[in-house]
Amino acid sequence: MKKLKPVPRFRSEAEERAFWESHDTADYFDLSKAERVSFPNLKLSTQSISLRLPQGLLDRIKIAANKRDVPYQSLIKVWLAEKVDAE
């Protein structure tokens, strides 16, 4: 079994983030003992934006969302994510 390194103490979240960007967690944790966890109340960070759309386009989006029984803003986010992932 591999000897694990101790996790250093960090002065800030930024310092910790920089550390983990350049170090392998497998050197510090026994990943075979990892357990899957769930955070059901965790909300993703979002930022509100203002987006001007032609009324006809917005109406078509709302109709498509209504057919799927989802909020139109959620449908827009899904479509945007799919397009970005496809690029």
- pLDDT at 2 > cutoff 80: no
- CATH number for the domain spanning 62: value is 1.10.1220
CA dihedral 5, 11, 13, 14 (to 10 degrees): -100
Do both 23 and 56 map to the same domain? Answer: no
Confidence at 55, pLDDT banded by 50, 70, 90: very high
- pLDDT at 52 > cutoff 80: yes
Does 41 fall in a domain?
no
- pLDDT at 64 > cutoff 80: yes
Provide the domain count of the chain.
2
**Structural domain of residue 4, as residue ranges?**
1-35
Distance CA 67, CA 48 (A): 25
The structure's pTM equals: 0.51
The SS3 assignment for 28 reads coil
Does 87 fall in a domain?
yes
- pLDDT at 18 > cutoff 90: yes
